[in-house]
Amino acid sequence: MQNNPLLAASGLPAFDRIRPEHVEDAVLATLDANRAELEQLLAAADQLELEFDAAVLPIERLSDRLHRVWSPVRHLQSVANSPELRAAYNACLPAISRYETEMGHNQRLYELYRRLGEQASAGPGEGASRLLELAIRDFRLSGVHLPPDQKARFKVIMEELSTAEASFEQNVLDSAAAWSLHISDASRVRGVPAMVLEPAAERARVAGRPGWLFQLDQPTYVAVVTHADDRELRKSVYRGWGTRASDEADYSPGHDNSALIEQILALRHEAANIIGYPNFAAYSLATKMAKSVAEVRDFLVELVRHSRNAARRELAELEAFAGRELEPWDIAYYSEKLRHQKYSISDEALRPYFPLPTVLSGLFQVVEKLYGIRIEPVAGVDAWEPHVEYFRLVDASGREVGGFFTDFYARSTKRSGAWMDQCLNRLRDSSGLQVPVAHLVCNFSLPTADTPCLITHDEMVTVFHEMGHVLHHLLTRIDYPSVGGINGVPWDAVELPSQFMETFAWEPEVVALCSGHYQTGEPLPASILASLRESKNFQSALAMVRQLEFALFDLRIHAEYDPAHGSRLMDILAEVRDAVAVIRPPEWNRFAHAFTHIFGGGYAAGYYSYKWAEVLAADAFAAFEEAGLFDPALARRFREQVLEIGGSRDIAEAFVAFRGRPAHVDALLRQSGISRA
């Protein structure tokens, strides 16, 4: 136990030394130690009138200690999955869930927070009052008021949910890994970019086969459906991607998520009912900016009203260009060709101008211009994979503000998508300041022997998006982890900094910083930049209705769940598509079975948050359009009123403090090139 790297009390996680056999021992030992120390604290609190920091800081430290142990485990199972690590991770989920439920049901702890909340002055640190307010709310949402039998049932539900949600994600990963497609005919891979063909050829060579062996990762899927001239190849890859972890995935029959979806929705509904809410959507919204299911539904329907006819026109234009009715596996292919015709640009023509190192250099310059923060590489930091890098943020005085790991490349042991996750939280106590640390994760193609990682402009936008999350986590000035960084921020506002940041990726001054041909260093030609800017809103309405389809589906399956009838998953999806969608997937499409955001991640009954926060972000960026892209006073106000406050303040009030008024949808519609209906 002494040599267990997960139990280190300071410094960055020793990722290169963490082994599956360390996990369960470290987690169980930490849970036991936390329980014992909490009992001592509560015994003292029963006897004394404790001040805020004397009472709450030790509890914050307990939470942070568990986070230091569990965060690297959770991260590794997303980026370096193995059967042994997965088994250790899954073995700990019930114990962690049990502990979290115990904390939420601890009547004495609740009384301590309630007593502190009734004092005239909560505490000396910024965010103390809000911490108490949110903690008391969360006690109620955890069922502290329930009778013993219902508390016991709630506890069981939370344990079962944690296991089911992890299994859902793991089925998606395993199902994708089970798919492969061997092609030996060179005519069938025409149009597929070299960044996908080269590793596919290497896999085939290793397997002793001619031609190309494709796997089902995100870069391969996007590249094939966008560029492959062979329609059957596009359909094969589309079908593989669209049936992952489902009853239609004949390539991985043991990973069907159908039963898990029913279990997850049933458990969520029962948990909400126990706490006193009619459905899980209403329960979820208790912690959001939006106040009711009706408010969210009306918000989404309003955006549908403004965008659906525009999306129909975009699809009609595309089909006229193609000369026929299109199937879903044709859309990206012909869209790329139409975009090239209209704007003389294509993703593959742009890619040489966006080598990842150049993009990062430009991004770091943007951060410095906005916030006066330098981003510096740090060598020799322990990591889980050779391509991982570590950077630190340094302010104008030379003080380290925080740091972040980057993991940019797709692997079979890594889940798809892009995300930011917390590695360490900001915490100040008597021993000093622990600076926050984040993970910035994407899924790009590996560089080859003679070519760096070349990304599309859309992928550059993704990097900017995730950097917005990183800055939100790292620039916090709040010293209490539970309301610092992204913690305590309503889920429908947590995307504000990321979506705000991605808007910069379209500005000429920023594109100039982030681009340069990987062979010649030549900047992106002005004519191509102009075309890129013109293309910004190409098919923006189609993209809008696609997100609205996902959001309404998520909201409805959680708001309308009825135990007597089950999820009605496919029926509700069909109804949503009738009301919203313009492009209709085939009957065998099972996108919901790989919808990890809502069945495995934190977006359950909250997928609408992307659009909700996009309204905030578009309105915030409009202020910079008015004042100047790098206006120092405005950037300082955004940093102070939004990025630094964490969850220490009501976000609606914070937005008004920055913008001078509440947000409205007009800025988003204008930014998307969509006219009000």
pLDDT tens-digit readout, 394-403:
999 999 999 9
Q: Collapsing DSSP states into helix, strand and coil, what is residue 646? A: coil
What are the pLDDT digits (tens) for 592-609?
999 999 999 789 999 999
User: Average model confidence (pLDDT) for the chain?
Assistant: 95
Q: Give the separation between CA 11 and CA 424, rounded to whole angstroms.
A: 9
Number of domains in the chain: 2
Return the closest-CA partner of residue 593 out of 608, 573, 609, 576: 573
481 located within any domain? no
In a domain, 226, yes or no: yes
Residues 6+ apart with CB under 8 A from 616: 493, 496, 499, 500, 655, 663
Q: Which of 123-137, 279-293, 312-326 has the lowest mean pLDDT?
A: 123-137
At 625, phi and psi to the nearest 5?
Answer: -65, -35
| pLDDT, tens only, 405-416 | 999 999 989 988
> Looking at the domain assignment, is residue 282 inside a domain?
no
Range of the domain at 224: 179-255
120 pLDDT above the threshold of 70: no
pLDDT band (50, 70, 90) for residue 163: very high
For the chain, state the CA radius of gyration: 25
- 347 has pLDDT over 90: no
Report CA 195 to chain centroid distance, whole Å: 25
The answer to whether position 231 is within a domain reads: yes
* 206 and 93 within one domain: no
Please calculate the CA angle 294-298-301 and round it to the nearest 5 degrees: 135
The answer to the question of residue 574 being in a domain is no
**Residues 327, 123: Cα–Cα separation, whole Å:** 60
Asked if 189 and 162 sit in the same domain, the reply is no
204 with 151, same domain: the answer is no
Confidence of residue 198 (pLDDT cuts 50, 70, 90): very high
How many DSSP H helices and E strands does the chain contain?
A: 26, 9
Of the candidates 540, 473, 535, the residue with the CA atom closest to the CA atom of residue 501: 473
Q: Would you place residue 214 in the very low, low, confident or very high pLDDT band (cuts 50, 70, 90)?
A: very high
pLDDT tens, 523-552? 899 999 999 999 999 999 999 999 999 999
Please, are residues 77 and 433 in contact by the beta-carbon 8 Å criterion?
no
183 and 168 share one domain: no
Q: How many other CB atoms are there within 10 angstroms of residue 171's CB atom?
A: 25
Q: Pairing state of beta strands 400-409 and 437-444?
A: parallel
pLDDT of residue 620: 97
Question: What pLDDT, on the 0 to 100 scale, is given for residue 121?
Answer: 61
Q: Are residues 69 and 42 in the same domain?
A: yes
Buried b (16+ CB within 10 A) or exposed e, 309-331: ebbeebbeebeeebeeebebbbb
Three-state SS string over 312-326 comes to HHHHHHHHHHHCCCC
Return the CATH number at 38.
1.10.1370.40
What predicted TM-score, i.e. pTM, was given to this entire model?
Answer: 0.90
Contacts of 341 (CB under 8 A, 6+ apart): 321
Whether residue 46 is predicted with pLDDT greater than 80 in this model: the reply is: no
Same domain, 17 and 166: yes
Is 466 noted as a catalytic residue in this protein?
yes
Co-location of 121 and 197 in the same domain = no
- Residue 629, token pair as written in the block: 């892209």
| C-alpha 327 chain-centroid distance | 29
Query: Do 206 and 155 fall within a single domain?
Result: no
Residues 87 and 166 in one domain: yes
Asked whether residue 235 falls in the same domain as residue 114, the answer is no
- Give the pLDDT confidence score for residue 449 in this predicted structure: 84
Contacts of 628 (CB under 8 A, 6+ apart): 634
Q: Which tens digit of pLDDT belongs to each residue from 458-470?
A: 999 999 999 999 9
Active-site pick, 270, 466, 502, 644 = 466
Among the candidates 194, 221, 255, a domain finishes at 255
Q: Look at residues 190, 225, 255 and tell me which one is the last residue of a structural domain.
A: 255
Residues 6+ apart with CB under 8 A from 664: 615, 619
Q: Which of 143, 173, 203 is the last residue of a domain?
A: 173
Same domain, 17 and 149: yes
Q: Answer yes or no: is 28 within a domain.
A: yes
Q: Are residues 194 and 223 in the same domain?
A: yes
What distance in Å separates the CA atoms of residue 621 and residue 671, rounded to the nearest whole number?
10
Please give the Cα distance from 525 to 516 (Å, whole number): 9
Q: What are phi and psi of 51, to 5 degrees?
A: -75, 165
Tell me, what amino acid is at 187?
S
Assigned domain for 608 exists: no
Residue 556 lies in a domain: no
